[in-house]
Amino acid sequence: MNKHRAWLFVPGTNKRAMQKALTLDADVIIYDLEDAVEMGRKDVARQEVAEALQQQITSGQTRVVRINGATTPDYQQDLEAVAQAGCGGVMLPKTEDPAHIKQLDEYLNRVEKEKQLPPGHFKIVPQIETALGVHNSYDIARASKRVLHLAFGSVDYTADIQGEMTEEGWEVYYARAHLVNSSRAAGIRGPIDTVYIDIYNIEGLIRETERAKKMGFQGKLVIHPKQIGPVNAVYTPSEQEVTEARQIVEAFEQARSRGEAAIQLNGKMIDPPVVHKAMQVLKLYEQINKQT
Ligand SMILES: CC(C)(COP(=O)(O)OP(=O)(O)OC[C@H]1O[C@@H](n2cnc3c(N)ncnc32)[C@H](O)[C@@H]1OP(=O)(O)O)[C@@H](O)C(=O)NCCC(=O)NCCSC(=O)C[C@@](O)(CC(=O)O)C(=O)O
Ligand SMILES: [Mg+2]
């Protein structure tokens, strides 16, 4: 899963939207069996999602399924329905306990052997949506090699901490920073940011996405087709960023050949960490363009 900018949620009962998602620019599609599915329709959703996963796709998107939580009665049936070749990963909502990730990892190991899928085929995306989940996020990120990203859930989190949602996001600032730090300390990629529920407020969406990107997030969960383009744009390096990054790398290579490790370029100091960041920009740009 190289591209991971916009992750589109689609309710597991909405066949039309599941089909439409394959024609959209989301890098990842998340078929939801949890909160977007009414309690009495979990069986129907499982069946719809299992069928959708059997469909061969050519869009290059990764399909992930958000199953119900590890302590719910639906958990095991969800897993049995979705652990099949077309599913690239499992999102586990309200993850709080690293033991639940280990248990999921063992189950996926068995399925890969039984179905002769390559080891590590199924990724795990723990969704962190509670105070305890944030607190345990480092151990959760390290609980299995399958953990690709942590994903943040701010609506549940804000309710759990008894806060109030604000445009500035003060109530989730600590949780966001904690998830970035836990992810990087655990050696995995930066996390995927929470949904933005104000569908038609595109300016607000862009502001929030830019803020989270600057904090270290690597992509964002979205709920509506209108949100995909703006999120992809924020997470795609601009021409100007790419040009500047190339200039930094070139200038530094020349400096090194002269035996210098810190130089000035356009009035700014360039040293190894600045070059490291520039190389990250170039790598991301290459990854995105390789597949489009
Ligand atoms: C909100 C709404 C009902 C509006 O639908 P409407 O149909 O009224 O919208 P329209 O504008 O009319 O749609 C125009 C055209 O786009 C199509 N279209 C719309 N949405 C599409 C889509 N997602 N994928 C593909 N296609 C789509 C539609 O089918 C139509 O296609 P067509 O008929 O061909 O014209 C719809 O978007 C939707 O269901 N979103 C996903 C909801 C969901 O999954 N929630 C759970 C995950 S969040 C969560 O759980 C967060 C968290 O975990 C985190 C935390 O804690 O923070 C928590 O706890 O909160
Ligand atoms: Mg939630």
Reported ipTM:
0.97
224 in contact with ligand 1, CB cutoff 6 A = yes
Nearest CA to 65 out of 115, 101, 41, 29 is that of: 29
Q: Where are the alpha helices (DSSP H) in the chain?
A: 15-21, 42-54, 75-82, 98-114, 131-135, 137-142, 154-160, 170-185, 202-215, 228-234, 239-257, 272-290
| Residue 6 confidence class, pLDDT cut points 50, 70, 90 | very high
215 in contact with ligand 1, CB cutoff 6 A = no
52 in contact with ligand 1, CB cutoff 6 A = no
| Residue 65 confidence class, pLDDT cut points 50, 70, 90 | very high
Instruction: Write out pLDDT tens, residues 14-58.
Output: 999 999 999 999 999 999 999 999 999 999 999 999 999 999 999
Task: Show the tokens assigned to 10.
Answer: 């689609």
* pLDDT over 60 (residue 291): no
Instruction: Write out pLDDT tens, residues 81-128.
Output: 999 999 999 999 999 999 999 999 999 999 999 999 999 999 999 999
Tell me the pairing of strands 192-193 and 89-92.
unpaired
Contact (Cβ atoms closer than 8 angstroms) between residue 156 and residue 94 = yes
* pLDDT over 90 (residue 219): yes
Nearest-10 crossing angle of helices 239-257, 272-290: 130
27 in contact with ligand 1, CB cutoff 6 A = no
The predicted pLDDT at position 261 comes to: 87
- Which atom of ligand 1 sits closest to the CA of residue 16? 29
The predicted pLDDT at position 112 comes to: 98
The predicted pLDDT at position 194 comes to: 98
* pLDDT over 90 (residue 1): no
Which residue has the least CA distance to atom 4 on ligand 1?
A: 224
DSSP notation for 45-71: HHHHHHHHHHS---S--EEEEE---TT
Question: Which one of 37, 224, 227, 231 would you pick to mutate in the ligand 1 pocket, going by the greatest count of ligand atoms within 8 A of its CB?
Answer: 224
Instruction: Write out pLDDT tens, residues 151-207.
Output: 999 999 999 999 999 999 999 999 999 999 999 999 999 999 999 999 999 999 999
Give the integer Cα–Cα distance in Å for 252 and 124.
38
* pLDDT over 90 (residue 208): yes
17 in contact with ligand 1, CB cutoff 6 A = yes
Give the integer Cα–Cα distance in Å for 107 and 105.
5
**CA of 286 relative to ligand 1 center, distance in Å:** 30
| Mean pLDDT (whole number) for 124-145 | 98
pTM of the model: 0.95
The predicted pLDDT at position 2 comes to: 74
228 in contact with ligand 1, CB cutoff 6 A = no
**CA of 14 relative to ligand 1 center, distance in Å:** 9
- Which atom of ligand 1 sits closest to the CA of residue 154? 57
